[in-house]
Chain A
Amino acid sequence: MSRPELVIIGNGMVGQSLLEALVAVDHGYNITVFCEEPRPAYDRVQLSSWFSGSTTEDLALTTTAFFDEHGITLRLGERVERIDREAGTVVSSNGDTLPYDKLVLATGSYPFVPPIPGNDQPHCLVYRTIEDLEAIRDSAAESKRGVVIGGGLLGLEAAKALKDLGLDTHVVEFAPRLMAVQLDEGGARLLRRKIEALGVQVHTSKATQQIVAGDACRYRLEFADGESLDTDMVLFSAGIRPADALAREAGLEVGERGGVVIDNRCCTSDPSIFAIGEVALWSGRIYGLVAPGYEMARICAAHLTGDTARGFEGADMSTKLKLLGVEVGSIGDAHGMTPGATSCVFEDGPAGIYKKLVIDESGKKLLGAVLVGDTADYGMLLQYCLNDMKLPEQAASLILPAGADKPALGVDALPDTAQICSCNNVSKGDLCGAIASGCTTVGGLKSETKAASTCGGCAALVKQVLDAELVRQGIEVNNHVCEHFAYSRQELYHLVRVHGIRTFDELLAQFGQGRGCDLCKPTVASILASCWNEFLLKPEHAGLQDTNDYFLANLQKDGTYSVVPRVPGGEITPQKLIVIGEVAQKYDLYTKITGGQRIDMFGARVEQLPLIWGELIEAGFESGHAYGKSLRTVKSCVGSTWCRYGVQDSVAMAIFVEQRYRGLRSPHKLKMAVSGCTRECAEAQSKDVGVIATEKGWNLYVCGNGGMRPRHAELFASDLDDQTLIRYIDRFLMFYIQTADRLQRTSVWRDNLEGGLEYLQDVIIHDSLGIAEELETQMQAVVDTYVCEWKRTVEDAEAVKRFNAFVNDDTPDEHIVYVRERGQKRPARPEEKKGEPA
């Protein structure tokens, strides 16, 4: 039986979210997606970051690989021209006719351009798609001044873009204040002051009547009040309109002012056709925010797959964001329109903070709030508002500066149904469930429930729920390394640094108890190495090392080891390749190319290791540290030296980075990569530290990894020169080494940092803790004291002695048995070893 046909028109943020919800279940459809734009879904909320360093790739929310993987047909750059409801077909701009059993309209909206004479000239632009951004960039290159028409949320985002492009930026608003929908008079006044202080001129109560040729600039805006403003370019950002033309022509019910009417199932007036996102009109409302769109996508996916339990119930339009660097928040009835509503206001002019609460007649409930300049209270106030919670006696205390007897929101008071993360619809009950089943860190909750993983606005609240719930459930969390030390790894690190402790015995005597174990010994060994960088196999350190570090090789299942010489940046001479081949052949080692652009040689017995390394060192190789919790490899592409597309010498940079950080001991292994252009052939975005060349320098990405829970690295800083790049990596790595838990990769570490990426950027880039110099000095000390461990070992007769198979005998372990397979040896399986004594 053939599968029913599902056609989805539109692949914006909401359309993509629908696809993700569908592929997560057994949806049973043949899916075709029409995407009018030349690329699949990208993050429209973050558009303005395109002008401050993010690339089109950074904004991407999906790739064509997603469609291939899930067997979804993606028709890129193709519109649907017509819906034939009687025939149950759609006709595309390529002239194809496709049947549908179910159809979803996720066509979104288009920018509203006011009907002003002269609005259709060149350099009169809108702000919605990547193509719009490219047009804005090109126009800005020929302009000195730019005007944004529209002082709402999107208009101010657009103003940031123009400012980032270096234009003399003006905002023209028809209403008497900025962000008239979200802010009251007082909040808007402060926002205006702050924005003007940043050099953006604001003109309110201005009705533009026509755009004519200018004198000083290309154009002149003439206002109804007789004034005018000259500008080289005009950017319209005066609101959005639902893209409902297809639905209108097909005779679906639409609202008076546009929007396809949907019911609680997201179903239109035709039971086979659904509509979601900004094109949909639910209960007389269009939701221009992404979170309600995502909720519609979830509901729509559920109903398409027969799960009819839930319906769309409307969405809260409260928002919190940063506009031109100014924090702005608006909750519920911000204007106090509810009959009987009263308000209380806190304003600190010099500090640039304005906060207002709108309270109901009884004085018990919060109806809304306005926050400008400081949105720290947003999460707490939103919960009061959404859950009808009783306000404290002195409601005003909620918006007073911290310290002044400010009551903390008892998250215990929140009902289980309270929505904590609106982006991913995670309730307090969901969080508590995850905590009860073993998630005891913010990072754990993020990956388990997705809470705080999109915009991050609820991170503080998630932490509060976590802390309160742990106390309530009587779960004691301690991050002590083990029973021998009542300290976390970070605390042990500081004890070692501050007290200048050089050995495990010293640390145990002063701060621990018992004898130590296989948890604390390697942890302390790593800390000592990060701090003092002494030879691992000195007698006082030898017993602390995991077997990999003890034998400077990787233990395999049969008790033998593998050997990985360093191949910096993956660049190797033919002569060295020959040496590896000869050594592998001589000792009969199984060889395999690794993912990190090196060669791994398996099946070396302990007593063979110094012999093998003697030959490798003779040929100029050094330890690859594949065995350590330390820097593994720095992968690279060939870069500008050979590649037609390369813009920087990625190989030289990779080699420099690998040689700088080789041997650095850290809480977990570290992987890095350098790509020579934005095509990213070195896969730097899957590494702890990823470097990608740009025309102007290097973009730095941090905290990615592959493995069990793959995670993309995040853009940390853009267009860095060589020196700044290395300084940031120095600081980043040392800060990680100082503060991470045992065996915590950078991604998990970052997820558990309160304040997340922004905090990390503050510490590393803006030196908010005043430790940047110290971090650099500490890193330089490690770099300066680097010695190849294997070179040191083979030159040390006492150290070599420890590699003997037996302390009283030279014959190899008879229990290690190999068979041949595909031209190489491999460990014999137990049944193949039968008859041989254990």
Chain B
Amino acid sequence: MNIKANVVGWEDICAATDIVRGTGAAARVSGMQVAVFHTDDGFFALGNYDPFSDANVLARGIVGDIGGKLVVASPVYKQHFCLHTGICLEDMSVSVPVWPVTVRDGRILIAAQPAAA
């Protein structure tokens, strides 16, 4: 499923070069905190809020892959969240929202609303 197909409005966040490859950064999108990641497989955006630690920190996690799934590890208690779905690998009943991201003319654009779960 292409989650970008149904996006109504995009918000311009920053230049693609503002986020160092292999790291993440926090951004505000329509009043919500979003964690934006620049990976070898492109850009991803999840909610910045870590439900396990009750803190806005996911942008500061290390990205990578576990068993073929692209993930970010919470910097607090190290749970892994899938970059595509937001689902926690350690506890599938927990997930964080996912935002569609695209890059246009060297700018990172994020959908104004998270994708429907």
Partner of B18, one of A543, A550, A807, A811: A807
Chain B residues with Cβ below 8 Å from A816 are: 55
Q: Contacts A559-B56, A815-B55, A815-B56; is A544 near B67 (CB within 8 Å)?
A: no
Residue of chain A at shortest CB distance from B73: A518
CB distance from A392 to the nearest CB of B (A): 48
Q: Contacts A546-B75, A809-B28; is A515 near B65 (CB within 8 Å)?
A: yes
Chain A residues with Cβ below 8 Å from B13 are: 807-808
Chain B residues with Cβ below 8 Å from A805 are: 26
Residue of chain A at shortest CB distance from B71: A517
A514 to B18, CA, bound (A): 25
Q: Does B63 contact A (CB under 8 A)?
A: yes
Which A798-821 residues sit within 8 Å CB-CB of chain B? Answer: 801-802, 804-809, 811, 813, 815-816
A304 to B28, CA, bound (A): 70
Partner of A518, one of B55, B57, B61: B61
Chain A residues with Cβ below 8 Å from B67 are: 483
Q: Does A555 contact B (CB under 8 A)?
A: yes
Instruction: Mark interface residues in B45-74 (1 if CB within 8 Å of A CB, else 0).
Output: 000010001111100111111111011010
In contact, B66 and A517 (Cβ under 8 angstroms): yes
Q: Contacts A517-B66, A547-B60, A838-B49; is A806 near B20 (CB within 8 Å)?
A: no
Chain B residues with Cβ below 8 Å from A545 are: 62
Query: For chain A, what secondary structure do more than half of its interface residues adopt (helix, strand, loop), or is it mixed?
Result: loop
Q: Does B25 contact A (CB under 8 A)?
A: yes
Q: Does A263 contact B (CB under 8 A)?
A: no
Q: Does B40 contact A (CB under 8 A)?
A: yes
In contact, A518 and B64 (Cβ under 8 angstroms): yes
Instruction: Mark interface residues in A503-545 (1 if CB within 8 Å of B CB, else 0).
Output: 0000000000011111011100000000000000001001111
In contact, A802 and B65 (Cβ under 8 angstroms): no
Q: Does A830 contact B (CB under 8 A)?
A: yes
Chain B residues with Cβ below 8 Å from A472 are: none
In contact, B76 and A557 (Cβ under 8 angstroms): yes
CB distance from B71 to the nearest CB of A (A): 7
Q: Does B85 contact A (CB under 8 A)?
A: no
Q: Contacts A557-B76, A807-B14, A808-B28; is A515 near B53 (CB within 8 Å)?
A: no
Which A451-466 residues sit within 8 Å CB-CB of chain B? Answer: none
Q: Does B88 contact A (CB under 8 A)?
A: no
In contact, B76 and A555 (Cβ under 8 angstroms): yes
Q: Does A719 contact B (CB under 8 A)?
A: no
A515 to B70, CA, bound (A): 8
A546 to B67, CA, bound (A): 21
Which among A521, A546, A547 has the highest number of chain B CB atoms within 10 Å?
A: A547
In contact, B25 and A807 (Cβ under 8 angstroms): yes
Which among A813, A816, A830 has the highest number of chain B CB atoms within 10 Å?
A: A813
Which B22-39 residues sit within 8 Å CB-CB of chain A? Answer: 22-23, 25-28, 33, 36, 39
Which A466-497 residues sit within 8 Å CB-CB of chain B? Answer: 483-484
Q: Contacts A522-B62, A806-B26; is A547 near B57 (CB within 8 Å)?
A: yes
Partner of B53, one of A521, A522, A559, A813: A559
CB distance from A491 to the nearest CB of B (A): 20
Q: Does A613 contact B (CB under 8 A)?
A: no
Task: Give chain B's interface residue range (CB within 8 Å of chain A).
Answer: 35 or more
Q: Does A558 contact B (CB under 8 A)?
A: yes
Residue of chain B at shortest CB distance from A804: B25
Residue of chain A at shortest CB distance from B31: A837
A546 to B77, CA, bound (A): 12
Q: Does A602 contact B (CB under 8 A)?
A: no
Q: Contacts A539-B21, A542-B20; is A515 near B39 (CB within 8 Å)?
A: yes
Chain B residues with Cβ below 8 Å from A543 are: 20-23, 62-63
Q: Contacts A483-B66, A518-B78, A807-B14; is A544 near B54 (CB within 8 Å)?
A: no
Partner of A546, one of B21, B40, B54, B62: B62
A484 to B68, CA, bound (A): 10
Chain A residues with Cβ below 8 Å from B41 are: 515
Chain B residues with Cβ below 8 Å from A815 are: 33, 49, 55-56
In contact, A550 and B63 (Cβ under 8 angstroms): no
Chain B residues with Cβ below 8 Å from A378 are: none
Q: Does B112 contact A (CB under 8 A)?
A: no
Q: Contacts A546-B75, A807-B18, A808-B28; is A515 near B23 (CB within 8 Å)?
A: no
Q: Does B19 contact A (CB under 8 A)?
A: yes
A766 to B111, CA, bound (A): 65
In contact, B55 and A807 (Cβ under 8 angstroms): no
A638 to B21, CA, bound (A): 48
Instruction: Mark interface residues in A747-761 (1 if CB within 8 Å of B CB, else 0).
Output: 000000000000000
CB distance from A799 to the nearest CB of B (A): 10
In contact, A539 and B26 (Cβ under 8 angstroms): no
CB distance from A508 to the nearest CB of B (A): 10
Chain B residues with Cβ below 8 Å from A517 are: 62, 64-66, 71, 73
CB distance from A528 to the nearest CB of B (A): 14
A557 to B57, CA, bound (A): 10
A801 to B17, CA, bound (A): 12
Chain A residues with Cβ below 8 Å from B70 are: 515
Chain A residues with Cβ below 8 Å from B33 are: 806, 813, 815
Residue of chain B at shortest CB distance from A515: B65
In contact, A558 and B22 (Cβ under 8 angstroms): no
Partner of B28, one of A550, A551, A802, A806: A806
Chain A residues with Cβ below 8 Å from B49 are: 815, 838
Chain A residues with Cβ below 8 Å from B14 are: 807-808
Which among A483, A515, A547, A807 has the highest number of chain B CB atoms within 10 Å?
A: A807
Chain A residues with Cβ below 8 Å from B18 are: 801, 807
Residue of chain B at shortest CB distance from A805: B26
Chain A residues with Cβ below 8 Å from B64 are: 484, 514-518, 520-521
Which A554-583 residues sit within 8 Å CB-CB of chain B? Answer: 555, 557-559
CB distance from A661 to the nearest CB of B (A): 26
CB distance from A554 to the nearest CB of B (A): 11
Chain A residues with Cβ below 8 Å from B60 are: 547, 550-551, 555
CB distance from B18 to the nearest CB of A (A): 6
Q: Contacts A517-B66, A557-B76; is A542 near B22 (CB within 8 Å)?
A: yes
CB distance from B62 to the nearest CB of A (A): 4
Chain B residues with Cβ below 8 Å from A544 are: 22, 62
Chain B residues with Cβ below 8 Å from A813 are: 33, 56
Which among A517, A555, A806, A816 has the highest number of chain B CB atoms within 10 Å?
A: A806
Chain A residues with Cβ below 8 Å from B71 are: 517
Which among B49, B57, B68 has the highest number of chain A CB atoms within 10 Å?
A: B57
A550 to B25, CA, bound (A): 12
A518 to B78, CA, bound (A): 8
Residue of chain A at shortest CB distance from B14: A807
Q: Contacts A514-B65, A543-B62, A559-B56; is A807 near B21 (CB within 8 Å)?
A: no
Chain B residues with Cβ below 8 Å from A809 are: 27-28
CB distance from A561 to the nearest CB of B (A): 10
The 7 A-B residue pairs with the shortest CB-CB distance in the complex, in nearest-first order? A543-B22, A559-B55, A517-B64, A518-B73, A547-B75, A518-B62, A515-B65
10 A–B contact pairs at CB < 8 A? A518-B73, A518-B78, A542-B23, A555-B57, A557-B55, A802-B23, A807-B19, A807-B27, A809-B27, A815-B56
Given contacts A517-B66, A547-B75, A809-B27, 13 further A-B contacts (CB under 8 A): A515-B64, A517-B62, A518-B61, A518-B80, A521-B62, A539-B21, A559-B55, A802-B20, A802-B23, A806-B28, A807-B27, A808-B28, A813-B56
